[in-house]
């Protein structure tokens, strides 16, 4: 296994992700826990020292133990990792003063090493785009090292000691903006003797062991939303601890057609996971009666959700842990945005704060993974593809797809129209190309003519967007044929709708949801 010593960089998890893509098993450990004793038992086959916000010029700056360099295994230092490596091995680091570098830069190979770098990292074109983010820089390399590559502001962009197999780079090869960075990691792990045969199946086994170690024989509650993340977390935890897990599925009555039944059947009957179906439709719809302000809707649902969850969780005796399907991007977002200057566009629905209130500890087995990796893990756990590939669905559910007042009648109509629309998209083979598609029912009635009669029914809007992360989005360019056929089907099959529109707003300026 490969050890990543974390010095607190924002992108350390991306290193792990790149290595998993190369089918190499790695673990991230914070620098504080990497001691001599730890290294003796851990016995890594290679070590990567991550970037980090500290300056090696501060006395109290974090360091790996000297022993890292005496293990006889390859070591790769990145950014702060490079600086700490150079300083500990006898080089010198200086502070920024005009040489700080943030963003795109180009590395060119040192003349005598052109052959080595071509194929190792460079593609032969003579320069390589990299992503820099550093204040301090190496001023003098450590004895035994030589320079392989330079950039205008980093004369020691790539350095290495071929005898000891120590390498260090000033830039971040793990980020997207270093396009060839993966090749660098690939060559580093080859050099360390990894065969690249680690799989998601192995990840699952390790994750299961970690959950067992963390939880012991305590009981765990999992709030199941029916979404991919909480579902994968629940199935994984169930594999680890079986009946010690109880899932609570809060049904606010704002779900899609047949959704509650599907979730209950899948988890209770198929997976045999103890599941409480908290059907609180009346409670939620009662509280939402007469409410049309989007923020009031969101807050009402969010608060009730927590109350209800707590009420059911209290019935589970001896529960000590709350399981959540938190992903790595959620971790990053909550770190970088909490208390930040950004304004609230929407009050997002989450159960943050709940664990403290209930005195529960957290189990978050997906914390290190990205969405596509969670999907791969879900497949490994036998969740059906159709389920794993589902579009995201917001916590407040259909409430925010029903602008204006929410009534049972409107929800019924909305559910049916949405089901027809999604069916159309699946039939045309477009589902996987679209990030998210849904119907919103509009708070207006319009006049139409069907047969020989007059109708006065609701209008609805179809929404479909492409996106990478939900932060920005563009509308999906359906053909006119598709739109026409879908509108006809909705009007024919769904009583209560006599007009269909297509929403062609991008985000920004729109948002994906209507509220
Ligand atoms: P917007 O509408 O803000 O949505 O462009 C971006 C993405 O987030 C989803 N969304 C939510 N997800 N709780 C969630 O779990 C929420 O309160 C919530 N609001 C929006 C939305 O469906 C889209 O994927």
The DSSP annotation for 26-74 comes to EEEEEGGG--HHHHHHH--SEEEE---S--TTSTT-----GGGGGSSS-
Residue with tokens 């060839």: 180
Average pLDDT of the segment spanning 416-436: 97
- Same-domain pairing of 119 and 148: yes
> What angle, rounded to 10 degrees, do the helices at 228-241 and 371-380 form?
40
* Residue predicted with more confidence, 209 or 125: 209
Residues 165 and 214 in one domain: no
Stated length of the chain: 515
Q: Is the pLDDT of residue 97 over 70?
A: no
Contact 94, 137 (CB under 8 A): yes
128 touches 180 (CB < 8 A): yes
401, 407, 394: which is closest to 288 by C-alpha?
407
| The predicted structure's pLDDT at residue 513 | 97
Nearest protein Cα to ligand 1, atom 10 = 394
Give the per-residue pLDDT at 340: 38
**Whether 55 and 109 share a structural domain:** yes
| CB-based contact 275:264 (threshold 8 Å) | yes
* Residue 394 Cα to ligand 1 middle (Å): 5
By residue range, what is the domain housing residue 457?
A: 407-502
Is 346 near ligand 1, meaning CB less than 6 Å away?
Answer: yes
In the reported structure, the alpha carbon of residue 406 is separated from the centroid of ligand 1 by a whole-number distance in angstroms of: 19
- Average pLDDT of the residues in 304-331: 88
Which residues, in sequence order, are CB contacts of 80 under 8 Å at separation 6+?
7, 9, 49, 50, 51, 52, 53, 54, 56, 134
Statement: residue 230 has pLDDT above 90 = yes
Please indicate, yes or no, whether residues 243 and 321 belong to a single structural domain of this protein: yes
What is the pLDDT at residue 229?
92
Q: Is 343 or 317 the better-scoring residue by pLDDT?
A: 317
Report residue 453 as tokens. Answer: 């009669």
- pLDDT exceeds 80 at position 416: yes
Ligand 1, residue 514: give the atom nearest the CA.
2
Residues 131/170, Cβ–Cβ less than 8 Å: no
How far is residue 310's CA from residue 111's CA, in Å, rounded to a whole number?
Answer: 66
| Domain end (from 159, 191, 223) | 191
Least confident of 73-77, 162-166, 333-337, 440-444: 333-337
- Reading the block at residue 240, the tokens are 């680890």
The best mutation among 299, 513, 514 to test binding of ligand 1, ranked by most ligand atoms within 8 Å of the C-beta, falls on 513
Query: What number is the average pLDDT over the span 459-470?
Result: 92
Closest to 367 (Cα-Cα) out of 2, 28, 24: 28
Question: Would the pLDDT of 231 be above 90?
Answer: yes
pLDDT score at 138: 92
Cα separation, 32 vs 23, whole angstroms: 27
Q: What is the Å distance from ligand 1's center to 180 Cα?
A: 33
ipTM attached to this prediction: 0.98
Name the domain count of the chain. Answer: 3
Are residues 173 and 228 both part of a single domain? no
Averaged pLDDT, 155-180: 91
pTM of the model: 0.79
Query: What is the spatial distance between Cα 185 and Cα 182, in angstroms, rounded to a whole number?
Result: 5
Residues 417-444 have a mean pLDDT of 97
CATH number of the domain at 338, please: 3.40.50.620
Final residue in a domain of this structure, among 156, 191, 226 = 191
3-state DSSP assignment of residue 361: strand
240 lies in some domain:
yes
Residues 134 and 22 in one domain: yes
Identify the band that residue 281 occupies on the pLDDT scale cut at 50, 70 and 90. very high
Clarify whether residues 159 and 253 are in a common domain: no
CATH number at residue 426: 3.30.300.10
pLDDT band at 334; cut points 50, 70, 90:
low
Share of the chain above pLDDT 70, in %: 92
Q: Are residues 37 and 160 in the same domain?
A: yes
Q: Is 271 helix (H, G, I), strand (E, B) or coil?
A: coil
Are 107 and 224 part of one and the same domain?
A: no
pLDDT at 413 > cutoff 90:
yes
Query: Are 259 and 357 in the same domain?
Result: yes
Counting Cα atoms < 13 Å in the Cβ hemisphere of 153 gives 22
| Contact between 9 and 81 (Cβ < 8 Å) | no
In 162-225 the beta strands, taken as DSSP E runs, fall at: 166-169, 219-223
pLDDT of amino acid 339:
37
Max mean pLDDT among 53-57, 316-320, 383-387, 491-495 falls in: 491-495
Nearest-angstrom CA–CA distance, 121 and 104 = 17
Q: Are residues 318 and 361 in the same domain?
A: yes
pLDDT band at 122 (very low <50, low <70, confident <90, very high): low
Same domain for 39 and 166, yes or no, is yes
Q: Does the beta carbon of 491 sit less than 6 angstroms from any atom of ligand 1?
A: no
- In testing the pocket of ligand 1, which one of 225, 348, 435 has its CB within 8 Å of the most ligand atoms? 348
* Predicted confidence (pLDDT) at residue 365 exceeds the cutoff of 60: yes
CATH at residue 8: 3.40.50.880
Catalytic residues: 79, 172, 174
CB 63 within 8 A of CB 84: yes
pLDDT value, residue 343: 58
Q: What kind and span of H or E run contains 157? A: strand 154-161
């Amino acid at each position: 296994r490969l050890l990543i010593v974390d010095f607190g960089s924002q992108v350390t998890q991306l290193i792990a992700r790149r290595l998993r893509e190369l089918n190499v098993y790695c673990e991230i450990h914070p620098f504080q826990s990497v001691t001599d004793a730890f290294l003796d038992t851990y016995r890594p086959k290679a070590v990567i020292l991550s970037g980090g916000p500290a300056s090696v010029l501060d006395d109290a700056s974090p360091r790996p133990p000297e022993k890292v360099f005496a293990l006889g295994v390859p070591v790769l230092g990145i950014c702060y990792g490079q600086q700490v490596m150079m300083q500990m091995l006898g080089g010198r680091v200086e502070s920024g003063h005009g040489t700080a570098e943030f963003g795109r830069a180009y590395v060119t190979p040192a003349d005598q090493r052109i052959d080595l770098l071509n194929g190792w990292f460079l593609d032969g074109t003579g320069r390589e785009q990299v992503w820099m983010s550093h204040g301090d820089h190496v001023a003098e390399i450590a004895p035994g090292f030589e320079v392989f590559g330079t950039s205008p502001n980093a004369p020691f962009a790539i350095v290495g000691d071929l005898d000891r197999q120590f390498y260090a780079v000033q830039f971040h090869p793990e980020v997207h903006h270093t396009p060839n960075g993966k090749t660098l990691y690939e060559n580093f792990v080859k050099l360390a003797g990894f065969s690249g045969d680690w799989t998601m199946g192995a990840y699952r086994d390790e994750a299961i062991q970690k959950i067992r170690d963390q939880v012991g024989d305590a009981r765990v509650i999992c709030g199941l939303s029916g979404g991919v993340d909480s579902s994968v977390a629940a199935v994984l935890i169930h594999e680890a601890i079986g009946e010690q897990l109880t899932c609570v599925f809060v049904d606010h009555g704002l779900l899609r057609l047949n959704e509650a039944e599907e979730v209950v059947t899948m988890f209770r009957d198929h997976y045999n996971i103890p599941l409480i179906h908290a059907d609180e439709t009346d409670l939620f719809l009662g509280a939402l009666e007469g409410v049309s302000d989007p923020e009031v809707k969101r807050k009402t649902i969010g608060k009730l959700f927590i109350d209800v969850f707590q009420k059911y969780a209290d019935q589970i005796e001896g529960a000590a842990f709350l399981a959540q399907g938190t992903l790595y991007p959620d971790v990053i977002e909550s770190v970088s945005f909490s208390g930040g200057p950004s304004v609230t566009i929407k009050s997002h629905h989450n159960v943050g704060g709940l664990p403290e209130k209930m005195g529960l500890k957290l189990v978050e087995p997906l914390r290190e993974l990205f969405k596509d990796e969670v999907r791969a893990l879900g497949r490994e756990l036998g969740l059906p593809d159709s389920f794993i590939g589902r579009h995201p669905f917001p916590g407040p559910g259909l409430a925010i797809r029903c602008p204006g007042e929410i009534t049972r009648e409107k929800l019924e109509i909305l559910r049916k129209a949405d089901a027809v629309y999604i069916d159309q998209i699946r039939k045309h083979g477009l589902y996987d190309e679209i990030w998210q598609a849904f119907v919103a029912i509009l708070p207006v009635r319009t006049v139409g003519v069907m047969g020989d009669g007059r109708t006065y029914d609701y209008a609805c809007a179809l929404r479909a967007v492409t996106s990478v992360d939900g932060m920005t989005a563009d509308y999906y360019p359906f053909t006119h044929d598709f739109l026409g056929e879908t509108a006809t089907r909705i009007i024919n099959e769904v009583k209560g709708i006599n007009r269909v529109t297509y929403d062609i707003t991008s985000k920004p300026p729109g948002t994906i949801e209507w509220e």
